Amino acid sequence: MPKYTVVTMPGDGIGNQVLPESLRVLKAVGFDAAYVHADIGWEFWCKEGNALPDRTIDLLAKHKLGLFGAITSKPKKEADAELDPKLRGKGYTYYSPIVTMRQRFNLDVCQRPCIGFAGNPLNYVRKRVDGGCDEPQIDSTVFRQNTEGMYCGIEWTNPPEVVRAALNSHAKFKAFSQVPGQDLAASVRIITRNAARRICTAAFEYAKRRGFKAVTICEKPNVLRETSGMMEETAKEVQKNYPNIQLWSTNIDAQLMWLNKNPEDYNVIVASNLFGDILSDAFAGLVGGLGFAASGNIGDEVAVFEPTHGSAPKYAELNPPIVNPIAMILSAAMMVDHVGEHQMANRIRNAVAAVVKEGKVRTYDMMRIPGGARSISQGAASTVQMADAILAKL
């Protein structure tokens, strides 16, 4: 019997192209696993009214380990328009399946590493005062609280009277009290102390394990005094258990500016859901973009690993496929690390690093050319060719 069982969820678009390549890499490195396919994504919303079917939830509950590709999500009106006519008017509401999955299994710790591989032409560089250039070594990981904040899903257009009554009890709502309901939309940002403590602790534990000197809490407590205030207060409490690791505090807007000045100083950043999402994409832009951006969604029992890119439907039908599979492959390496197979995970990352440094095989994004049917004829490697190069290094 295999040592592990992994629930594979290719999802939509290019998820169906990159996930199979990650499985080839896992097989080559000797990861002892069986793989069980599971349904997820836009197709199942359209024909079943549920982008995350119960049968997929059951598989994750049973096997505890998932590898996910990508999904297509659309705004409410577009989602309703594409639902099977037989299901319309029956109370079905589209929710992002990955957000639902995170909340269903309390995958509240999201870890998003952003590593600059030597030789990557997409790496961030900055000009020195003498006219030369520096390429700082970026080794940063964003710890994003994954289940609360602005993504908790509590929002309304035309809030019911009981909600308006509660809002009217706050002095600041007086400016909006006369706005007609159909012209008023409201979202709730929720932070709980226990969840804040878990994500901050995960960040400090990682910093301790890696030998980093500081953890940065990145919020906006000068404006979001209650919610960001609780995040920062909790981070200060957690830091007391790690006297050898400093706690730095930055505001989200200033932090994005500092990414263009001294990104190498920020090895570990912790933030609430929306801010962590913004930060991880910003950091990814410094190390090659979403083609290099891996992530893990980790709970007490279940863990699901995924690239942070979307489904890129405009590339999904190209043959051969052209998208960069490295983010998916690095996500698979994170999964291997999570179950304790650290040597295998390091071999995968080292193989990726060797291919990037060598520079002989580059997908269209790494060549800075437009993606499309012509990119292969312009010298770009296909999705499969990039995976082949990584396999050769293994």
Superfamily name and number for 124-151+191-286 = Isopropylmalate Dehydrogenase (3.40.718.10)
Contact 142, 274 (CB under 8 A): no
Q: What is the pLDDT of residues 74-95, one digit of tens each?
A: 988 999 999 999 999 999 999 8
Domain boundaries, given as residue ranges, for the chain? 1-108+300-394, 124-151+191-286, 154-187
Q: Give the architecture (CATH level 2) of 1-108+300-394.
A: 3-Layer(aba) Sandwich (3.40)
**Distance (Å, rounded) from C-alpha 264 to C-alpha 215?**
13
Radius of gyration of the chain (CA): 22
**Distance (Å, rounded) from C-alpha 121 to C-alpha 111?**
25
Mean pLDDT of 66-79: 93
Looking at residue 249, its amino acid is S
In 3-state terms, what secondary structure has residue 377? coil
Contact 338, 298 (CB under 8 A): yes
Looking at residue 332, its amino acid is A
**Distance (Å, rounded) from C-alpha 142 to C-alpha 241?**
20
Contact 168, 177 (CB under 8 A): yes
Identical fold at 1-108+300-394 and 124-151+191-286?
yes
pLDDT beyond 90 at 214: yes
Q: List all residues 6 or more positions away from 150 whose beta carbon is below 8 Å from its beta carbon.
A: 187, 189, 272, 273, 274
pTM, whole model, 2 decimals?
Answer: 0.94
Task: Give the pLDDT band (50/70/90) at residue 339.
Answer: very high
Q: Tokens standing for 79?
A: 């989602």
CA angle 393, 263, 67 (to 5 degrees): 45
The reported pLDDT for the residue numbered 75 is: 87
Q: What is the pLDDT of residues 103-154, one digit of tens each?
A: 999 999 999 999 999 999 999 999 999 999 999 999 999 999 999 999 998 9
